[in-house]
Amino acid sequence: MLDQADLKAVCTTELFERYLQLESEALLTIFPNFQRCMSGSCSSGQIHDGGDIFSCTACQYKHCMSCDVALHSGETCDLYQELSTKEKEKRKALLAKSADIEKEAMELAKRTEKEEAEAAETLKKVAKLCPGCKRKVMKTSGCDHIHCGYFDAIFGHQVSRTTTNGFAGTVCGFDFCWICLADQNEIWKVGNSAHKEDCNHFRSLPSRARVLRPDEL
């Protein structure tokens, strides 16, 4: 069995000093009142006399043994523990409130997503793209002859210029069939044969027949 002299002869100085430190700490651990430093950055240890304050002789870190935290100067252990309990309860309440808010936000996001999806589906059923300006238009009542009155102060299908509520801009003014989107001008020219064949307004008319425009009636 090697003794310290043998180890010193074959080890580097740094390794031998480390060995002596570990040997000393191993011997100290057999004592029930041996306490390692609790600073988290110091590996030293020492015999603690059992007082409420642990003071490391190596790094001077002080630890409250009663509360098992770094020494709380200016507060008794009872006061510190009372404040600590209140702080924990407050933190717990805040975390619970935060969780509730997060849950409500997720539920709101789901409801919003569902409502937007439902609105999009509804829009598909009641709205169509105007063949003229490519904007979505809705039919609320009346016949299937649609006159697009979409007003745009900057962009738009520039069929005619007008002034709406004092703002100069463009009005689409495109006329079309709501069912098949056929151009109403073509319908006026050649008659109902201008509708698409699957449209219920489609009629196969003689080539010379045409529908009169409203201003021609």
State both tokens at 102.
Answer: 């997060």
**Site of tokens 């495109």:** 174
pLDDT of 176 reads 94
Question: What are 56-107's pLDDT values in tens digits?
Answer: 989 999 999 888 888 888 888 888 888 888 888 888 888 888 888 999 999 9
Question: What are 195-210's pLDDT values in tens digits?
Answer: 999 999 998 766 555 5
**Site of tokens 């020492």:** 46
Tell me the one-letter amino acid at 137: V
Candidates 138, 165, 139; CA nearest to 151 is: 165
State both tokens at 188.
Answer: 């006026």
**Average pLDDT of span 174-193:** 92
Q: pTM above 0.75?
A: no
**Average pLDDT of span 181-185:** 93
Segment holding 7, helix H or strand E: helix 4-10
Q: How far is CA 119 from CA 104, 139, 140, 179, in A?
A: 22, 16, 16, 21
pLDDT of 160 reads 44
